[in-house]
Amino acid sequence: MKLNHTLAGAGLLCLAAAAPLWAQAGPGDSGGAARAGVGNQATDHTPGADGEGGIPTGAPGDDASFNDNGSSDAMQQAYKDYSQKKFSVATPELQAILKKSPNTVEAHEMLADIYQRQNQLPQAIPEMEAVVRLKPKDASWRDTLGGAYLKVGAPAKAAGVFQTALIQNPTSADDASKYAYALEQGGKHAEAAAAFEKAAALNPKDSQAPLYAGLLYHQVGNDTKAVPYLKSAIALGTTQKGTAYTALAEAATAVKQTSDAIVYQTQAAEANPTDFGTEANLGIMEQNAGKKADAEEAYRKTLTLKSDDPKSVAGIQENLAGLLRLDGKLDEAATLLTQAASVDPTNVSIQDNLGVIYEKQGKKDLALAAYKQALTLKPGNGVATDGIARLSKP
């Protein structure tokens, strides 16, 4: 069972829409904080290339035209309607202001916030881009823009925004993590691992960055780098110990360090005592290592845990039945296999094993029925063919 390395939902990013600072102090409830979500994918992209780097090109203009009386009155009225949440009125007012003075940052901020509140991110993003262009060092709006890009499925632009932030502030572990997250979401796992490695170096007390660096290095097959980062995350008290130990177990298995793999998988099961897959993998590892009693114990515990995949449950029932058959516990083994067959009726090995057990129990008719079912499912099946031949002799 492979790890799910998707980092979305793991608490890495929480990007909130930035409310205009000047609006926060004004009359009414300016709010300004509908959350911008995090999307599912991102790719690495150099900011500024062909207009796809996340921050629009162009220098901020001056706002002189805003200072004349007509524009000032228009802005005051637009702000009043905005602060009173009369968005249908404020929107065209702000658009009119921007038509006359396109670099009026306050108008872009208000429009961005209005569109976010109305869940219109495609309309909000150009306004956010304008704000970031006009206020390139405003971290809150930059983060909001990156989160919005991810939300609408423009991950390359999100990566560009966060990469720009990291270039501007190369000692920021937070910016390094955001950039790494965007890369990971786009499948750039090796690059993301390196970015998380940078974040871990910038904030050596943080357990999340080394965890993600370790998981991603493991995912791309670089366990030489993965293992120390996973161990570091555990030592730093990561709340995802089960995931870290599972990755360590997989890494140990890959280099045939069976004893270490079992130790790590046992620790993973202890960290996630209610996880079906973790306990099931422990049983499989122990069975493959010849630890029959330990495997049986793990399988029995696994079958008490919840699984959303009935066929996975059937697989564990079949594995446990095989161990029980070796111990001569044929009745319990037959019961487990019958339960597994009801869930996975096209599984040939379940029918083969049922045939063998019924034959050992002297239940000729049941054994023949199981063998014939196996032969129907897989014509030419040797186990079933031989069993039918034996039982068909006078």
What's the pLDDT tens digit per position in 138-163? 888 999 999 999 999 888 899 999 99
CA distance 324 to 290: 14
CA distance 215 to 128: 33
Asked whether 242 and 3 are in contact (CB, 8 A), the reply is: no
Q: Residue 27: is its pLDDT beyond 60?
A: no
Ordered structural domains, the chain, with CATH:
13-185 (1.25.40.10), 332-394 (1.25.40.10)
Residue 29, amino acid: D
Specify the pLDDT at position 393. 85
> What backbone phi and psi angles, to 5 degrees, belong to 238?
-55, 145
Place of tokens 């006078």: 394
16 three-state secondary structure: strand
Answer yes or no: pTM beyond 0.75: no
Q: Residue 44: is its pLDDT beyond 60?
A: no
**Mean pLDDT, residues 63-71 taken together:** 42
DSSP character at residue 175: H
Place of tokens 């150009």: 126
**Mean pLDDT, residues 238-264 taken together:** 96
Letter string b/e over residues 15-54, b meaning 16 or more CB atoms within 10 A of that residue's CB: bebbbbeebeeeeeebbbebebebbebbbbbebeeeeebb
Q: In the predicted model, what is the mean pLDDT of the chain?
A: 83
Specify the pLDDT at position 71. 59
Q: Dihedral through CA 229, CA 235, CA 236, CA 239, nearest 10?
A: 90
Closest CA to 141 of 20, 27, 274: 20
Which one has a higher pLDDT value, 107 or 154? 107
**Mean pLDDT, residues 215-240 taken together:** 96
pLDDT tens, position by position, 335-364: 999 999 999 999 999 999 999 999 999 999
Least confident of 34-43, 85-94, 171-180: 34-43
Least confident of 18-32, 332-346, 368-382: 18-32
CA distance 390 to 394: 9
Specify the pLDDT at position 70. 47
CA distance 245 to 82: 51
CA distance 253 to 155: 34
Specify the pLDDT at position 394. 77
Q: Residue 384: is its pLDDT beyond 70?
A: yes
Structure tokens, 12: 């890495």
Q: Is the dihedral of CA 286, 292, 293, 297 positive or negative?
A: positive
Specify the pLDDT at position 306. 96
**Mean pLDDT, residues 123-143 taken together:** 93
pLDDT band at residue 46, thresholds of 50, 70 and 90?
A: very low
Give percent of the chain above pLDDT 90. Answer: 76
Which one has a higher pLDDT value, 23 or 130? 130
pLDDT band at residue 312, thresholds of 50, 70 and 90?
A: very high
> What backbone phi and psi angles, to 5 degrees, belong to 393?
-70, 145
Specify the pLDDT at position 50. 33
First to last CA, the chain: 47
CA distance 226 to 247: 9
CA distance 214 to 208: 10
**Mean pLDDT, residues 50-65 taken together:** 34
Asked whether 247 and 215 are in contact (CB, 8 A), the reply is: yes
CA distance 341 to 344: 5
